[in-house]
Amino acid sequence: MSNYKAVIGLEMHCEMTSKAKVFSQAINSYSEIPNVNVRPLDMAFPGTLPTLNKECVRKALLMSLVLNCQVPEYLYFDRKNYYYPDLPKGYQITQMHAPVGINGKITIEVNGQDKEVLIHDIHLEEDSASLDHYSDASLIDYNRSGVPLLELVTEPCFNSAEEAVAFLEYMRRTYQYCDVSEADTKKGQIRCDVNVSIMDEDAQELGTKVEVKNVNSFQNVYETINYEIKRQSELKDAGRYAEVEQETRRFDEETGTTIRMRSKVDAIDYKYFVEPNIPKLKISKDWLAEIKKSIPVLPRERKAKYINELGLSEYDANTIIKEKDYADYFEECINLGINPKIACNYLTVNIVAYLSKEDITLKEFYLTPALLKQIIMELDKGTISSKQAKEIFNKSLEERKEPKTYITKDNAQISDSKALESIIDNILDNNEQQIVAYHNGKTNLFDYFVGQVMKETKGKANPTMVKEILKSKLD
């Protein structure tokens, strides 16, 4: 197979988090029980009209700003008309004429290299109902009908599956950081359409574009792109490039291939026109400025700060920014005055292990940064050993009690040199024979003396100090 240049574009649909749906006042929340989050509009009962959820508009505008898009002066919507049982109104309210953002540009990192991604547009729309197919019937669940969606369309600016997936990962994180979406592919909150074409390395014109619809995981996006590149390249090698048609295909998970759905010739005419029931909304400069101010620090900037200012390794920084929860937890630790490296170690080793063992999220984790600080500060002071710290960490989680409950005088390490000296003097006074033997060359008796001190203090003596004092007294 020859090596052709691949050209890839992405359409990424992402379900937004919000209290209510975007055009109806029903609750926007995932539910296993069908048809509970439904208002009359979501089933298109005659006479119902759309409302507009301003929170969704705000989040859409925020994403538009994050992607450095141009924002229109007025916000309005369009109807996309087609018949399908999951679309009760017979049209979807979306944005075709004036999306919340157009002509954006962002820089992402792919394998340590910067990559510029061009955004064609990002627009706000509503999701359809969901269908469950059975052998003799199909059932409609309207919970999803009207759920706010953001659709992001890139220019065909990627040249490999790695680049495309890196962008999707980047966006998933960004949606989470901006609190726009949970962006959970397992809950079907992200769905992608992928456009792939190939061309000779030195060619001027793009090849024939094939669209693969509804690819539901990033792994499948990766496989889809590589499969299409291979399929198209092989046809081109065989002199049969004409067989690559401008068409819509779907990804088949079982075989890892793509299957033809329809030709471009059969494409649906959606008869877009402006939604008359939602008056144009002026997007004021003040509002935009306010939204801009609310954009949180994004992962790329956080990573740079962790490496350059806090001295973390690139590996550790990457681990922490992967999830917004981790980054927020880490930064709270830093704000509380915890040493960055210690905080990082606790987070990436002990906490991560505990979360995965218990199968919970960091939000559900009992030891908040403030509670963790109770342990780390004692460790710093030397009042507890690292072994004890670990025990307190586990005990505190197990019994859901503050760590300081376990840091009592009773179990505190004896690090007071005067106290230790008097204990040691006492032991030495009672072991004169052993001292003589030690001085005659039986040096392994040193450990015997340490053992005696530990026995006397029930293991609470600071071992390093004990050794130091013993050495100075014996030698």
Partner 1 sequence: MHMAKNIIELHQQLINGEVTSEELVKESLQKSHALQEKCHAFVTILDDAKGGKVTDSYLSGIPYGIKDNYSTKGILSTGSSNTLKDYVPFFSATAVLNLEKNGAIPVNKTALDEFGMGGTGTTCHTGPVKNPWNLKHICGGSSAGSAAAVAAGVYPFALGSDTGDSIRKPAAFCGIVGYKPTYGMISRYGLFPFASSLDHCGCLTRCVADAALVVDAMKGLDTHDLTSWDSQHMHLYDSLNGHVKGKKLFYIKEIVDLQNYHNPSWELKKHLENFQRTLEILKELGVEVTPVSIDKNLLKAIPSVYVCLSCAEATSNMSNLTGIVFGPRGEGAGVTEMMMDHRTKGFSPLIKRRFVIGSYILQKENQEKYFVNAQRVRRLIVDEMKKLFQTYDGLILPVSKGPAPVLANLEDTVSDDELSVLEEHLQIGNFGGFPSITIPNGFIDDLPVGINITGNCYDDANVLNIAYALEQQMPYQNQIAKEWQNE
User: 39, 50 in Cβ contact below 8 A?
Assistant: no
Cβ distance to partner 1 smaller for residue 270 or 446: 270
CA atoms within 13 A on the CB side of 386: 5
Cα distance between residue 41 and residue 33, in whole Å: 19
Find the binding residues for partner 1 in span 376-415 (CB under 8 A).
none
- Give start and end residues of each alpha helix (H) in 159-199: 161-177
Whose CA is closest to 208, among 191, 231, 186, 185? 231
CB of 65 to partner 1, least distance (A): 25
CB of 14 to partner 1, least distance (A): 25
Cβ distance to partner 1 smaller for residue 267 or 360: 267
Q: Which of 105, 187, 230, 271 binds partner 1 (CB under 8 A)?
A: 271
Encoded tokens for 153: 């369309």
Q: Which of 140, 153, 371, 450 binds partner 1 (CB under 8 A)?
A: 140
DSSP, res 215: E
Q: Where are the beta strands (DSSP E) in 66-155?
A: 74-75, 78-81, 91-94, 101-110, 113-126, 130-133, 138-141, 148-154
Cβ distance to partner 1 smaller for residue 65 or 93: 93
Cβ distance to partner 1 smaller for residue 277 or 443: 277
Cβ distance to partner 1 smaller for residue 49 or 419: 49
For the four alpha carbons of 442, 443, 444 and 450, in that order, the dihedral sign comes to positive
Residue type, 284: S
Q: What character string, x for contact with partner 1 (CB under 8 A) and - otherwise, covers 66-105?
A: -------------x-x-x-x--xxxx--------------
CB of 229 to partner 1, least distance (A): 31
Other CB atoms within 10 A of residue 35 CB: 15
- 3 state DSSP class of 447: helix
User: 130, 144 in Cβ contact below 8 A?
Assistant: yes
Cβ distance to partner 1 smaller for residue 15 or 275: 275
CB of 364 to partner 1, least distance (A): 37
- 3 state DSSP class of 68: coil
Phi, psi (degrees; rounded to nearest 5) at 23: -120, 5
Cβ distance to partner 1 smaller for residue 272 or 366: 272
Find the binding residues for partner 1 in span 276-305 (CB under 8 A).
276-279
Cβ distance to partner 1 smaller for residue 83 or 315: 83
Cβ distance to partner 1 smaller for residue 260 or 271: 271
350 binds partner 1 (CB under 8 A): no
User: 168, 191 in Cβ contact below 8 A?
Assistant: no
Cα distance between residue 399 and residue 405, in whole Å: 11
User: 200, 4 in Cβ contact below 8 A?
Assistant: yes
Q: What character string, x for contact with partner 1 (CB under 8 A) and - otherwise, covers 214-253?
A: ----------------------------------------
Q: What pairing do the DSSP bridges indicate for beta strands 130-133 and 138-141? A: antiparallel
CB of 132 to partner 1, least distance (A): 14
Whose CA is closest to 157, among 106, 89, 82? 106
CB of 28 to partner 1, least distance (A): 18
CB of 149 to partner 1, least distance (A): 20
Please identify, among the stretches 106-114, 220-228, 272-280, 346-354, the one whose residues bind partner 1 according to the rule CB under 8 A: 272-280
Cβ distance to partner 1 smaller for residue 230 or 280: 280
Contacts within 8 Å (CB) and 24+ apart, 413-420? 413/382, 413/383, 413/384, 413/385, 413/388, 413/460, 413/461, 413/462, 414/457, 414/460, 414/461, 414/462, 415/382, 415/383, 415/462, 415/465, 417/465, 417/469, 420/453, 420/461, 420/462, 420/465, 420/466, 420/469
CB of 123 to partner 1, least distance (A): 19
CB of 90 to partner 1, least distance (A): 2
CA angle 389, 392, 398 (to 5 degrees): 145
Cβ distance to partner 1 smaller for residue 79 or 115: 79
Distances (CA, A) of 20 to 17, 56, 258: 9, 9, 36
Count residues contacting partner 1 (CB under 8 A)?
28
Q: Which of 29, 34, 52, 322 binds partner 1 (CB under 8 A)?
A: 52
CB of 302 to partner 1, least distance (A): 39
CB of 295 to partner 1, least distance (A): 28
Please identify, among the stretches 212-220, 257-265, 271-279, 312-320, the one whose residues bind partner 1 according to the rule CB under 8 A: 271-279
Cβ distance to partner 1 smaller for residue 48 or 226: 48
Cα distance between residue 381 and residue 369, in whole Å: 18
Residue type, 331: E
Cβ distance to partner 1 smaller for residue 241 or 272: 272
Q: What character string, x for contact with partner 1 (CB under 8 A) and - otherwise, covers 12-51?
A: ----------------------------x--xxxxxxxxx
* Site residues, partner 1 (CB under 8 A): 40, 43-52, 79, 81, 83, 85, 88-91, 138, 140, 269, 271, 273, 276-279
